[in-house]
């Protein structure tokens, strides 16, 4: 064995990511939340293939009944199996959560990075716009938008994503501003890398820690907003399902069929709880200074 190589291995430091991973693994609740989320993901994605019913199929012999061996979560008023509807609803809720977060991530990162990198007048104008947008009661605007332009899944997550990028933009701006005078940026500039290259190849990857943390915390917020809109009847339409819609149905018939409220409500709460816990854990692991 080459002795020089052995020495090199010995002095190899731990990277930010290794540090973070070590800290995260020590946080039992965060690890547990990650496992819960993985199980939930498997449940809603693979579940509908295993259950012998489909989410819109009606079993009229078993309409409006509590949990039984045929229907573990019971059935709704139309005799649809609640287990598979909850799985299907979970798919939609998670999908909207992830896609809307992706939309908000894209807008927020690009906006914040540009504002932080160029600074000066550009920064002043862009951040003034964010300040103004911050005080707009956006849920009202989203509701108006959905009612006036039709309720489709696509509009739903575009609208939710388009209104939840503001904080992300502020965080990325702050990170970029603190990084943009570093030597590696000077080196890249000296090597002839353009503005776009410096922003997206050098600055944004270095801000990834905060971006991941905030994105993880955005997912439960957006899922909650989707559920909120579906609860009001402005999101997904029956026979399609989302957790918010199922909770709304459940609330309407809770006197006779409390299981219709309890199962979807429980799964939604558990998922949000796990996402929030994981987000908190990631924040403590990746960005100890951000801890509040």
Partner 1 sequence: MLRYALRRLLGLFPVLLVIFTLSFVLMRAAPGGPFDAEKPVPAEVKRNLELKYHLREPWCEARFLPALREGLEPAVERAVRAEQPWASRAEKLCTGLFQYGWMLANYATGDFGPSYKYKDRSVNEFIAAGLPVTIQLGLVAMCFALFIGLTAGLIAAIRQNGWADHAAMGMALLGISIPNFVLGPLLILVFALTLVWLPPARWGSWEYMILPGFTLGSAYAAYIARLTRGGMLEVIRQDYIRTARAKGLSERLVILRHAVRGGMLPVVSYLGPAMAGLFTGSIVIERIFNIPGMGRYFVDAALNRDITLAMAVVVVDAIFLLVANLLVDLALGLLDPRVRYEE
CA angle 277, 283, 286 (to 5 degrees): 135
Q: Per rule CB under 8 A, is residue 28 in the interface with partner 1?
A: no
Contact indicator for 94, 155 with CB cutoff of 8 Å:
no
Closest approach of Cβ 275 to partner 1, in Å? 8
Q: Per rule CB under 8 A, is residue 92 in the interface with partner 1?
A: no
Closest approach of Cβ 93 to partner 1, in Å? 11
Q: Per rule CB under 8 A, is residue 87 in the interface with partner 1?
A: no
Closest approach of Cβ 231 to partner 1, in Å? 5
Q: Bridge partners of 80? A: 58
261 is written with which tokens? 């409220």
Q: Bridge partners of 75? A: 81
Q: Per rule CB under 8 A, is residue 261 in the interface with partner 1?
A: yes
Residue whose entry in the numeric block shows the structure tokens 């459940």: 250
Dist CA 276 CA 274 (whole Å):
5
> Can you tell me which of 220, 241, 242, 284 binds partner 1, judged by CB under 8 A?
220
Dist CA 240 CA 86 (whole Å):
11
Contact indicator for 153, 236 with CB cutoff of 8 Å:
yes
Q: Is the C-alpha dihedral spanning 275, 237, 262, 39 positive or negative?
A: negative
How do the residues of the chain divide into helix, strand and coil, expressed in percent and rounded to 5?
75, 0, 25
Q: Per rule CB under 8 A, is residue 132 in the interface with partner 1?
A: yes
Nearer to partner 1, 69 or 140 (CB): 140
Q: Per rule CB under 8 A, is residue 15 in the interface with partner 1?
A: no
* Nearest CA-CA partner of 62 in 51, 50, 46, 73: 73
Nearer to partner 1, 53 or 214 (CB): 214
Q: Per rule CB under 8 A, is residue 124 in the interface with partner 1?
A: no
Instruction: Map the footprint of partner 1 across residues 153-212, applying CB under 8 A.
Output: none
Q: Per rule CB under 8 A, is residue 140 in the interface with partner 1?
A: yes
Closest approach of Cβ 15 to partner 1, in Å? 29
Residues forming the site for partner 1 (CB under 8 A): 132, 135-137, 139-141, 143-145, 147-149, 220, 224, 227-228, 231-233, 244, 247-248, 250-251, 254-255, 258, 261, 265, 268-269, 272-273, 276-277, 280, 292
């Amino acid at each position: 064995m080459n002795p020089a190589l052995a020495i090199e291995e010995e002095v190899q430091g731990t990277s930010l990511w290794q540090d973070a991973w070590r800290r995260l693994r020590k946080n039992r609740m965060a690890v547990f939340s990650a496992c819960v989320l993985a199980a939930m993901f498997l449940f809603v994605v693979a579940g509908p293939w295993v259950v012998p019913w489909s989410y819109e199929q009606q079993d009229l012999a078993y309409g409006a009944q509590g949990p039984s061996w045929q229907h573990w979560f019971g059935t709704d008023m139309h005799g649809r199996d609640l287990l598979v509807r909850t799985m299907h609803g979970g798919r939609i809720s998670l999908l909207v959560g992830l896609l809307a977060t992706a939309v908000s991530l894209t807008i927020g990162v690009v906006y914040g990075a540009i504002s932080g990198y160029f600074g000066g007048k550009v920064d002043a104008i862009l951040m003034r716009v964010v300040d103004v947008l911050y005080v707009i009661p956006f849920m009202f605007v989203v509701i108006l938008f959905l009612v006036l332009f039709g309720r489709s899944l696509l509009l739903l997550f575009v609208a939710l994503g388009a209104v939840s990028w503001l904080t992300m933009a502020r965080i990325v701006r702050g990170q970029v501003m603190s990084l943009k005078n570093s030597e590696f940026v000077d080196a890249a500039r000296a090597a002839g890398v353009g503005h776009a290259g410096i922003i997206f190849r050098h600055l944004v990857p270095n801000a990834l820690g905060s971006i991941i943390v905030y994105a993880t915390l955005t997912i439960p917020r957006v899922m909650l907003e989707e559920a909120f809109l579906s609860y009001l009847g402005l999101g997904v339409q029956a026979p399609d399902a989302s957790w918010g819609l199922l909770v709304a149905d459940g609330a309407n018939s809770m006197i006779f069929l409390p299981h219709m409220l309890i199962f979807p409500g429980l799964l939604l709460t558990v998922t949000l709880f796990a996402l929030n816990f994981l987000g908190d854990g990631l924040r403590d692991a990746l960005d100890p200074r951000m801890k509040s």
